[in-house]
């Protein structure tokens, strides 16, 4: 009877480990998240400037700023800005909603980076067009690993 309970407990433990273990994002998942954000439109290069260090000593708190070239008028403004990554546990880093009264098409935050990877900022304009910039980052001390080897 004891062996049976031990076997059931071990099996349950393995099943929970498989369920609780966080999944890492992939380049394919990042592309799918970007496509969902843009409504399957291919974002154009330009108008978006992603300000982040290219070599990061510590991925636990990384400052990042996204600036979009836009006059922010009622006729020409940014409606949304999003940042996506390819190797953190989740592909979406942040999504922001803006309007013409924001005054400036710029957002700043701090993020965690699991490992060296690509980071993409995408801006959606009020005319429906989407613009992006992608940067390659090198992270010396990774974050977000939670026991994972990426």
**CATH for 37:** 2.60.40.2470
Share of the chain above pLDDT 70, in %: 78
Lowest mean pLDDT among 18-27, 76-85, 98-107: 18-27
Residue 7 placed within a domain: no
User: How many domains does the chain divide into?
Assistant: 1
Rounded CA gap, 53 and 128, in Å? 30
45 vs 11, residue with greater confidence: 45
For the chain, the distance separating the N- and C-terminal CA atoms, rounded to the nearest angstrom, is 41
Residue 17 placed within a domain: no
Q: Are residues 23 and 102 in contact, defined by beta-carbon separation less than 8 angstroms?
A: no
Q: What is the pLDDT of residue 143?
A: 65
Q: What is the pLDDT of residue 146?
A: 53
Residue 6 placed within a domain: no
Residue 118 placed within a domain: yes
Q: Is pLDDT of 1 > 50?
A: yes
Average pLDDT over residues 51-67: 93
Domain that holds residue 78: 23-141
């Amino acid at each position: 009877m004891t062996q049976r309970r031990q076997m059931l407990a071990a099996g349950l433990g393995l099943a929970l480990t498989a369920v609780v273990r966080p999944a890492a994002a992939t380049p394919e998942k990042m592309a799918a998240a970007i496509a969902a954000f843009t409504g399957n439109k291919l974002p154009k290069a330009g108008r978006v400037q992603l300000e982040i260090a290219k070599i990061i000593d510590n991925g636990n708190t990384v400052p990042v700023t996204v600036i979009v070239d836009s006059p922010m008028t009622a006729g020409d403004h940014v409606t949304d800005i999003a940042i996506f990554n390819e190797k953190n546990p989740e592909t979406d880093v942040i999504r922001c909603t803006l309007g013409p009264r924001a005054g400036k098409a710029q957002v700043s935050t701090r993020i965690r980076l699991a490992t060296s990877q690509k980071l993409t900022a995408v801006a959606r304009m009020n005319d429906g067009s989407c613009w992006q910039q992608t940067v390659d980052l090198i992270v010396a001390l990774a974050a977000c690993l939670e026991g994972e080897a990426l």
